[in-house]
Structure 1
Amino acid sequence: RDRDRREIYPAPIDAIFGALETSGEIDAVLPEMDVITWRGNLSKLLTCAWNVNEAWTMEAELVNRCVVLNVRETEDSLRRALTRDDREERMCYWGYAFEESVCAEKPFEEPVDCLDCFCSVVRTKLGTLNVLMCGEVDCFDSDDGDLASYVELKTTRVMNDPRQVKKFEKEKLLKWWAQSYALGVRRILVGFRDDVGKVVKLQMLETLKLPGYVAAHEGAWNARDGLRCASLV
């Protein structure tokens, strides 16, 4: 996968079918599905009611009675990825380095691998639709390996005033909620960093509680409308 989104098709859909073939469940699972997609496409649908600044696109193909959604980058997002400056590249690295420091038994003994990732394939419901979805999982905190143990890892700049907190809750938490909720990830470990990339605070957030943080804000997003919008689209 293209973690830096520098290709028009950064996450080929055939990887999902390959996982089903490897598991031996492809013939049993596929006939029951209404939608097959990467998690990123569903996240876009869950947030589209409040997204007024970022353009997005996806490709849809009807195969028998199943809609297959393919991830497709916009020209603008490709241009931004290809023209990132040193500061932006460094900030991307900070995120990968945080994942390395949290997950590795001996962090930074080898160069941080920005391409290595683990993905989970899950079956879920969106309204009346049966959805087969694949998404990257950062880590898990037990030996169970089930959805309850999955943890998303995020970094963000430490906030110094109420205006920054409000913007964080209305915009960034929306994306985090959609991403984690879609795949069934229940917890998000956040590393709050300073301007030189040093993590100064850790906080564990519960995915299902994120909508409550913004409920008091005027025009805030909410889970019910996000799910309704996604199912209608």
Structure 2
Amino acid sequence: MPLRFDVPSGRRRPTRHWIVAVALCCLAGCAVSSTGTAAHPADTGSSPPAPALARSSARPSSVVGTAADGWHGTAVRVSRPRPSFTLADLSGRSFDFAKETAGRATLLFFGYTNCPDVCPTTMADIAAAKQLVSSPVGSAIMVVFVTTDPGRDTAGVLRRWLNQFDPTFIGLTGSPAQLAAAQKAAGVPLASAQQVPGGQYDVVHAAQVAGYGADNTEHVRYFSDTTVADYAADLPRLVAVS
């Protein structure tokens, strides 16, 4: 499966004001998207050169769809059930993903809070899309963010970061082995840490949001070029599919 990464642009993390601006922009008809393919650096300073890492802008063969599928994201070629894995939520409670999200439209993403680009913009885009759809649809959507950097993403750090976008977003963490098992279960490339000068490290991870319907089946994936309007168009369908 080809990896999908995003080029860091040095943008600051979006705030709630930025989310509202995105929503208003979308209502006005403009497209909002993340661009490029690469790794995410650990700090949020000026834009470093993109590291020489494997890159691909192609969708994995398992998620290539057609316009006839009707999704604004990328329809999966072979639908598969909601994955089963167990991690810890931010209160330290065991969280069985398949059971806790059963029967709910769910968006699942693996990333980390020090990511300067694709992670915050993806979370902001989803939050903005939830504001654009009807209240019943928005409240029916579960958004689960699984850290790929458990060493730095403590429960407090992850909760504060997610609250910038939507307090209802669920954060999960676990041991490296548990997180690897979760990524395998979800069918995304495994994240990896790479040392950089200064004693820091980068986390290279997949820029894919998996979309599960209320029927407990994965129907669609969203990549870094997905717009707020794309998410907003698909959310009602994820809620209604059965």
| TM-score range relative to shorter protein | under 0.3
Question: Which has a greater percent of helix?
Answer: 1
Q: Which protein has greater RCO, CA pairs closer than 8 Å, 6+ apart?
A: 2
Give the TM-score taking structure 1 as reference length: 0.27
Question: Which has a greater percent of strand?
Answer: 1
Give the TM-score taking structure 2 as reference length: 0.26
